A and B are shown apart, each in its own frame.
Chain A
Amino acid sequence: MSKRVPLEGSFAAAEAARMADVDVIAAYPITPQSHIIERLADFVANGELNAAYIPVESEHSAMSACWGASGAGARTFTATASQGFFLMHEVLYFVAGMRLPVVMTVANRAVGPPTNIWGDHSDAMSARDTGWIQIFAANNQEIFDFVLSCFRFCEDPRVLLPAMVHLDGFTLSHVVEPVILPEQEEVNRFLPKYQHPYVYDTDKPMSYGIVMSPDTYAEVKKAQDITLRESKEVILQAWKEFGDIFGRYYSPIEGYRSQGAKTLLMSTGALSETAKVAIDRKRDRGEDVGLLTLHLWRPFPFQELYEALKDAETLIVFDRSISLGGPGGPIISEVKSALFDRRRDIKFAGLVGALCGRNPSVEQFEEIIDRGREIAEKGSSEVLETIGIRG
């Protein structure tokens, strides 16, 4: 029998890695993710997890060690956040390009300066084009479920790509919620053994990471792009099987009271849980609004977006990171770009807020919807609209 236990988000991530029976963890501590790797260090030290735990001297080394371990055929896990995430940036591209299914949790945190430790999605967005599968969790159960399911589809021979599960720093990483933990036997049924077709083997030497000229680089990049796009079908299939075994079904874009709604708010991560209460209040007052929570950020779920917007007339996208000097937040600009191709009729507003842990209250989410509707109706003289910022 599965059991329902109180777990903070960090421990939910660690439990998923433990139950996935990871072989190697290479990590460096940084707030607000440290609880994840500290809990895993406990598991290894206590004999609850048979894994090699590599304490490295930096995040660049952490991801480099993960690269080597995954290439050698080990199921590999790590976690990071913010500045530490930036320090591993170079290696992120290599792990994806080398087709290695490393799974990483990122406890999302704002980026300095100003020096900070609180949550937003600025760190996540820096990795947009690294070639990793990227998923945002909205609660602690999703952290557990997404980490577990990542191992499944990342290690699928049709995918063999790394994935990061984003969880909001503090709002999820340090908050205790009830989480349903499955039986180990159920996990084993869901998760076959990891086997890479070109595993590092001194008896069968190959060349990895070879130099490529202008004549070949672009073909390799296109192949990588197609592989990442095609991974969506495998992700959907894995989530379907996950649901059949564990009873919880996931989709790239989750709707909440969104069916047939004329106005939709799109949010990402833990703040969607607050937004749901705002939607409830507005529904109680007879307003025709619903919520879309974007779970799958890469590969971007174009088809699911168009389906979710089938009956919508107005879309308001709320973004937790700012693209300085650009067209809004990254999610705002990508959704807007997708609409330009297929749904130019939709009235659109993008709002940036909730930076560095300034999480909106339910009332403020109601304001976000009201202000968004106003911008969508009347337009705005600002290229980038912010909300909740003084002055």
Chain B
Amino acid sequence: MVQKESESILRPNWQDVRFGNIFPKAGTATRYKTGDWRSERPIVDREKCNKCGLCWLYCPDGAMEILEDGYYEPDLYHCKGCGICANICAKKAITMREEGA
């Protein structure tokens, strides 16, 4: 009825997805890799960063992580490279670098 959590998630038959829009677990979006959508990645300059946390607050995907030393780094498995963090940073400590450049 509800999708079984197995290989069949990726290529189910219609009989397996009668309640196809319901998935029997919560928080499953974290397993969905969106990092490969990115064309640019944020680079944090620790010399300029004052650990204010604006990038963490504004990231629409919750992809900015707080490190133990209080600095911030993008979670590149999920970061889509939108650049909001770089745009909002008051200290201009984040720059976007083209992937593969």
Contact = CB atoms under 8 A, between A and B. Distances in A.
Partners in one complex: yes
Interface of A: 97-99, 197-198, 205-212, 215-216, 219-220, 222-224, 226-227
Contact of A223 (B18, B23, B25, B27): B18
B26 A206 contact: yes
From DSSP, what is the main secondary structure of chain A's interface residues?
loop
Contacts of B22: 98-99, 198, 206-208, 210
Nearest to A223: B14
B19 to A, nearest CB: 6
B28 A207 contact: yes
Contacts, number: 65
Interface of B: 1-2, 10-29, 32
A254 B26 CA distance: 47
Contacts of A207: 22-23, 25-29
23 contacts: A98-B21, A98-B22, A99-B19, A197-B1, A198-B19, A198-B24, A205-B25, A205-B27, A207-B22, A207-B25, A207-B26, A208-B21, A209-B21, A210-B28, A211-B32, A212-B20, A215-B11, A219-B12, A220-B20, A222-B14, A223-B20, A224-B20, A227-B18
Given A205-B26, A220-B14, A223-B18, 20 more contacts: A97-B21, A99-B21, A197-B1, A197-B19, A205-B27, A206-B23, A207-B26, A207-B28, A210-B23, A210-B28, A212-B21, A216-B10, A216-B11, A216-B12, A216-B17, A219-B16, A219-B17, A219-B20, A223-B20, A226-B14
A22 B39 CA distance: 52
Contacts of B28: 207, 210
Contacts of A99: 19, 21-22
Contacts of A224: 20
A99 B17 CA distance: 12
Nearest to B29: A207
Nearest to A227: B18
B25 A206 contact: yes
Contacts of A212: 20-21
B34 to A, nearest CB: 11
Contacts of A227: 18
B18 A198 contact: no
Nearest to B9: A216
Contacts of A197: 1, 19
Report, nearest first, the 3 A-B pairs whose CB atoms are least far apart: A205-B26, A220-B20, A207-B23
Nearest to A226: B14
A299 to B, nearest CB: 16
A222 B15 CA distance: 9
A220 B13 CA distance: 9
A198 B2 contact: yes
Contacts of A208: 21-23
A208 B24 CA distance: 9
A195 to B, nearest CB: 14
Contacts of A211: 32
B17 A220 contact: yes
